[in-house]
Structure 1
């Protein structure tokens, strides 16, 4: 303590010799510690903000769906309220469910808000610093076909790419051609994520029977193994009845 006091006196004498105003006093160790802590907190916040921006940029969500939240989802019917409750519960339990590789399945006709709820899940998880990728099944297969050419994208590298996000959401299942090759890729990607305990979400306009016919028994069984909840969006389309900040396409 005596040494610190002597140092403070010495600094005061030096400041006086330099002609500094009397109001200028040396910083105490505690003040320096507080300034350092403030800078560290600011740097951490910048890092978190940059990380969040990066996650959002890689999510596959366009600007329209980045605005989708649970709060701005149009709920008028009991089924809509239940869908939001289930999706929010999935987000709350994501760490637990993700450790088991469990995702979700949204089925139903166009215009019922499946994409909105899936995007709201993605946005909530991204805000919690989980990596999420949402892509249409056609974009997924287009990416897979890139490995057929003479380039550096191997099948192994591509499968690792699909394995990377904490949550992969595959949209528009049912728009694919239904070829054997597509079915093989779908099953391989799903198997890889299941074995790695990485959850996958599925969004489709097909009902369960049509989805089973499209995928075949084995792939459909794997899909069932991969989901913890299934929500059937069985109400009428509200396309054109109400617009939110998401400017819904009504999926």
Structure 2
């Protein structure tokens, strides 16, 4: 500190009288350096977080449309959306100590996918593994296991069961076959047994007697 102060004094003596120094004391210079270091550190952290997100997006199922979704840019236009946003934020904050699943229901355009993607994006930044997948894609992958795809049905079920958070989209969009219901229920049951939560997105009005969504009834339910 003394050396810095001496340096500042010498520099001030060398400056023309009409030039005002940016820093009058060594303490001011050190404070500025510390501030700039914090700014650079924050910028580097943001860059690293962005790179991490880019590496994981290819494996997360988060489509380009939703890769920038966050809680901050979610548009709230009604009380139901405000309630859903609040529960989504709480869900992320309590994720490590909470195995509850969630359901977002509502008509198209109410922001279900945005909130689900925001949850997943934030969890990705916190080092969690996530996957968003539609029922149709699950069933397509299941059918591929019958065609010598190199992945067995059991392996696929394990993969879907092992991510920290699985979000199943388009629940109830199409007429569900008995086989489809069995597969979805198997996935939810395996995840519940492993204490891993499952999120569900549906355009239908969720009822407590729903055979699939009802398996997540212990978690938060947020209508859109």
TM-score category of the 2 structures, normalised to the smaller one: 0.7 to 0.9
Q: Do structure 1's residue 164 and structure 2's residue 165 form an aligned pair?
A: no
Aligned equivalent of 1:174: 172
Name stretches of at least 5 consecutive residues in structure 2 with no aligned partner.
1-40
Give the Å deviation of 1:183.
0.8
Aligned equivalent of 2:128: 130
Give me the whole-angstrom Cα distance separating, in 2, the residues matched to 1:211 and 1:69: 32
Give me the whole-angstrom Cα distance separating, in 2, the residues matched to 1:221 and 1:122: 22
Q: Structure 1 residues 211, 152: CA separation in 2 closer, same or farther (over 3 Å shift)?
A: farther
The answer to whether the 8 Å contact 2:70/2:117 transfers is yes
Q: Structure 1 residues 140, 108: CA separation in 2 closer, same or farther (over 3 Å shift)?
A: same
Aligned equivalent of 2:202: 204
Q: Name the structure, 1 or 2, with higher relative contact order (CA <8 Å, separation 6+).
A: 1
Aligned equivalent of 1:144: 142
Aligned residues: 181
Classify the secondary structure of the residue corresponding to 1:208. Answer: coil
The answer to whether the 8 Å contact 1:172/1:203 transfers is yes
Name stretches of at least 5 consecutive residues in structure 1 with no aligned partner.
1-40, 234-251
Q: Structure 1 residues 126, 138: CA separation in 2 closer, same or farther (over 3 Å shift)?
A: same
Give me the whole-angstrom Cα distance separating, in 2, the residues matched to 1:50 and 1:198: 26
Q: Equivalences for 1:50-199 in 2 at 5 Å? A: 51-97=52-98, 100=99, 102-199=100-197
Classify the secondary structure of the residue corresponding to 2:191. Answer: helix
Q: Structure 1 residues 221, 114: CA separation in 2 closer, same or farther (over 3 Å shift)?
A: closer
TM, length-normalised to structure 1: 0.66
Question: Among 229, 235, 239, which residue is 2:220 paired with?
Answer: 229
The answer to whether the 8 Å contact 1:170/1:203 transfers is yes
Give the Å deviation of 1:176.
3.4
The answer to whether the 8 Å contact 1:163/1:192 transfers is yes
Give me the whole-angstrom Cα distance separating, in 1, the residues matched to 2:192 and 2:183: 14
Give me the whole-angstrom Cα distance separating, in 2, the residues matched to 1:110 and 1:133: 21
Give the Å deviation of 1:147.
1.5
TM, length-normalised to structure 2: 0.73
Give the Å deviation of 1:210.
9.4
Give me the whole-angstrom Cα distance separating, in 1, the residues matched to 2:69 and 2:48: 24
The answer to whether the 8 Å contact 1:52/1:129 transfers is no
Give me the whole-angstrom Cα distance separating, in 2, the residues matched to 1:59 and 1:108: 23
